Every structure is written in C-alpha cells, then in structure tokens.
Amino acid sequence: MSDCIFCRIVAGELPCRKVYEDEDVYAFHDIRPAAPVHFMIIPKRHIASLAEAGPADAAVLGKILALAGRLAREQGLEEGFRTIINTGRIGCQEVYHLHVHILGGPEPLGGMLAKHG
C-alpha cells in the first residue's frame, strides 16, 4: 500500500534504524521511543491490524512472536521486555499496519507506557 508508512519503510522509501529483516518480517526502532529500547516487528505483507489477520497469517504471526525474544536480547533486554499490539482506534493503533512493539530498559517500565500507541 503506497500510503502506508510501514510499507514504505519495508520498500526502502523511508529511512529507519533496522533491527532485523528476512523474507517475511521487518524490525526497526520506533521514531518516538517510549522506553530506552523500543522497536517494532512487522510483517512485510500489509495486514492492517490484528483484527484483520486470519488463518493465512498464522505463520508470519508466529514468526514475529518467536523472533521477539531473540531480538530483544540482541538489543540488550536480557532481563525482560514488554510486548504491545495496539489494535484499532479504541486500542490506540496509530499506524494501520500490524506491528508488535518491543519495549524495555534497565528499570521496570511501570506507568511509562500508559499512553503509548
């Protein structure tokens, strides 16, 4: 989708601080981090939100979750991290391309994430 900012990042049209890429998924740092370490993992194929995902998306969704721990550790989050998937307007989703936030840092995140979307 040409108007989707994440599709444009995957296509190399917009810069990002890439964390990981393979044939199915792309991971990059959030431009408005809500924690000392804050990156997102997305499917390369456009899926608007978790509510739009179906059985055909199970493999890529599993791959994203399976990668989360490894990428978090590689980014220095050995003692834990938080995963967030905002879905739809009420779920505070800002970019309508499914994305999994991975957040963490040296201290517990507490209320720091209350308003992040």
Record the pTM: 0.89
Please confirm, yes or no, whether 46 is among the known catalytic residues. no
Across the chain, mean pLDDT equals 92
Round to whole Å and give the CA distance between 31 and 33: 6
CA nearest neighbour of 46 among 9, 89, 90, 85:
9
What domains can you pick out in the chain, each with its CATH number? 5-113 (3.30.428.10)
Tens digit of each residue's pLDDT, the chain (117 residues): 679 999 999 999 999 999 999 999 999 999 999 999 999 999 999 999 999 999 999 999 999 999 999 999 999 999 999 999 999 999 999 999 999 999 998 766 555 554 454
Reported as a single tens digit per residue, the pLDDT across 94-113 is 999 999 999 998 766 555 55
Out of 97, 99, 101, 116, which one is annotated catalytic? Answer: 99
